[in-house]
């Protein structure tokens, strides 16, 4: 009898020990992950404005976070839609298929997020007819959903539709972007059939007209953070043991940069606004989620070149190329050179030339011959360092980094036929002595060197000068969460050393 009693006690103890083992083996994850992308934020803005940042915003992230100081974009062109997709998929246009803000699929022009199969929710305009369907790979959010049996909550917020939709991924619970015609946040039927009551209430108190937006472009910075905070509250993100993801993108930094350049009071002002709003946001996360319960990462979709007139005033070689004007002149040349009456060039987009394959075939021409004719013509432009046939890039004599960036940016169905690489500090822009803005899209460090800073949960202060890439962000976050990296990921998980 006594032996039987002892055996029962041993069984109970084993069961208790097993239960304790299960508890101790539970995967550690933060309650909330926040991805913050600042549109057109050059890496050096972390330090150029450092002395002017407040203690609790961007300076706090630098002082307390871990910075990958040599983080580079590894494809071209360096533009908004591609950058946002690449951050969250861990891959490049060659694999995720988002080849620009606008691009062509087998000759047909598309906008990266336009989806005629959905309708706007929150307005009656086409600005809401958007979805991530043209993106071919999964994102951090999709993989987090899969890892938690789709119990994790995933949302995206931005003024630009592409900056809200692409980061959130295919299985997101919602993405909200600004409809300029309606003057408030909307979504699409890809996610839901009706705006939640809290979004309608938010819109009622945060609506403004296009004229008001143009007069105060910085207001969208504050509005985006306020929308993100309202979403955290009303969707109860980070309030249970299942990790949630919120993607936030700040868009007006790009708008102001394009209009006023990388220097001057306008650019500084928007970063001071960003800094103050970020402080308020971090204070809220500290207070309501807990300083050790959230993981935030800061990055950008691309950088920007300094204004060419400013550079020229200091004897630095620079210039602007009005690429959008070349379609007519190129078609005139090709018609004459190829002895045809048809226009053989469809479009020029982000330094990529899209030839009309159907017309070339109909005229009885060989595509390779037309491409070579085009290349020979473009090589006469002194602003072009290289003119490259995408399909033959391996045969060109050029720096290996540049060759790899061209390959990573090339999708055979979506990227066109020929790409030009401009000489340093020459970018697509209006060519005028009065021009004071900027642009981006090139391989050069001013466009491709972007921040990547981790902050919060399990992050120690420090930095590394080891070269990393935009495609390393997603696998690094996924590794920290102990989930699979996105399904087309080519990046590497990086350690904080």
Q: What are the two backbone dihedrals, phi and then psi, of residue 441, each rounded to the nearest 5 degrees?
A: 135, -15
Between CA 51 and CA 38 the distance in angstroms is: 19
Output b/e per residue, 336-372; b: 16+ Cβ within 10 A.
eebebeeebbbbbbbbbbbbbeebbeebebeeeebbe
Q: How many other C-beta atoms lie within 10 A of the C-beta of residue 126?
A: 14
253 contacts 41 by C-beta, under 8 angstroms: yes
Are residues 338 and 373 in contact, defined by beta-carbon separation less than 8 angstroms?
Answer: yes
DSSP state of 472: G
CA-CA distance, 133 to 335, in Å (whole number)? 37
Given 78, 80, 89, 187, which residue is catalytic? 80
What sign does the dihedral 287-292-295-296 (CA atoms) show?
Answer: positive
Measured in whole angstroms, the distance separating CA 318 from the mean position of its chain's CA atoms is 27
Do the beta carbons of residue 456 and residue 477 sit within 8 Å?
A: no
> CA 393, CA 329: separation in Å to the nearest integer?
25
C-alpha triplet 257, 248, 276: angle, nearest 5°: 65
Half-sphere exposure for 203 (CA within 13 Å, toward CB): 21
Angle at 90 between CA 401 and CA 179, to 5 degrees: 110
Catalytic status, residue 373: no
Distance CA(167)–CA(444), nearest Å, equals 24
Please state whether beta strands 294-299 and 319-321 pair in parallel, antiparallel, or not at all (unpaired): unpaired
Bridge partners of residue 78, in order along the sequence: none
Is residue 228 within 8 A of residue 176, CB to CB? The reply is no
- Distance from C-alpha of 440 to C-alpha of 446, rounded to nearest angstrom: 8
Q: Which tokens go with 460?
A: 């120690």
For the annotated catalytic residues, the residue numbers are 80
């Amino acid at each position: 009898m006594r032996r039987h009693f002892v055996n029962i006690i041993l069984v109970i103890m084993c069961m208790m020990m097993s239960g304790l083992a299960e508890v101790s083996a539970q995967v550690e994850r933060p309650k909330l992950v926040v991805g913050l992308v600042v549109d057109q934020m050059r890496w050096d803005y972390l330090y150029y404005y450092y002395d002017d940042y407040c203690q609790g915003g961007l300076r706090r992230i630098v002082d307390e976070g871990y910075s990958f100081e040599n983080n580079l974009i590894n494809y071209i062109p360096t533009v908004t839609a591609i950058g946002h997709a690449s951050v969250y998929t861990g891959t490049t246009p060659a694999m995720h298929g988002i080849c620009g803000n606008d691009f062509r699929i087998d000759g047909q022009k598309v906008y990266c997020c336009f989806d005629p199969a959905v309708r706007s929710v929150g307005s009656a305009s086409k600005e809401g007819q958007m979805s991530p369907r043209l993106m071919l790979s999964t994102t951090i959010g999709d993989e987090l959903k899969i890892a938690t049996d789709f119990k994790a909550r995933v949302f995206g917020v931005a003024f630009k539709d592409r900056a809200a939709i692409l980061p959130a991924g295919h299985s997101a619970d919602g993405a909200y972007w600004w409809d300029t015609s309606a003057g408030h946040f909307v979504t699409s039927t890809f996610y839901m059939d009706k705006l939640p009551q809290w979004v309608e209430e938010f819109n009622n108190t945060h609506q403004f007209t296009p004229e008001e937006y143009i007069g105060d472009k910085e207001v969208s910075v504050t509005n985006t953070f306020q929308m993100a905070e309202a979403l955290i509250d009303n969707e109860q993100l980070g309030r249970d043991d299942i990790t949630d993801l919120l993607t936030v993108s700040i868009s007006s930094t790009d708008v102001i940069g394009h209009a006023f350049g990388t220097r001057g009071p306008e650019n500084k002002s928007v970063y001071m606004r960003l800094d103050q709003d970020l402080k308020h946001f971090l204070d809220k996360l500290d207070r309501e989620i807990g300083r050790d319960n959230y993981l935030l990462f800061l990055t950008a979709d691309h950088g920007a070149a300094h204004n060419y007139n400013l550079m020229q005033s200091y004897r630095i070689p620079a210039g602007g190329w009005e690429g959008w004007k070349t379609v007519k002149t190129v078609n005139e040349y090709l018609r004459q050179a190829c002895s045809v009456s048809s226009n053989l060039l469809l479009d020029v987009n982000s330094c990529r030339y899209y030839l009309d394959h159907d017309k070339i075939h109909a005229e009885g021409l060989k595509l390779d011959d037309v491409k070579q004719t085009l290349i020979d013509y473009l090589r006469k432009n002194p602003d072009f360092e290289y003119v490259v046939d995408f399909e033959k890039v391996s045969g060109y004599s050029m720096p290996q980094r540049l060759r790899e960036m061209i390959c990573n940016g090339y999708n055979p169905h979506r990227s066109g036929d020929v790409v030009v690489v401009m000489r340093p500090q020459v970018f697509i822009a209006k060519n005028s002595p009065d021009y004071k803005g900027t642009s981006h899209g090139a391989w050069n460090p001013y466009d491709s060197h972007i921040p990547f800073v981790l902050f919060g949960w399990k992050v120690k202060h420090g930095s590394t000068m080891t070269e990393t890439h935009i495609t390393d962000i997603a696998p690094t976050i996924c590794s920290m969460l102990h989930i699979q990296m996105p399904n087309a990921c080519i990046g590497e998980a990086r350690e904080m050393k």
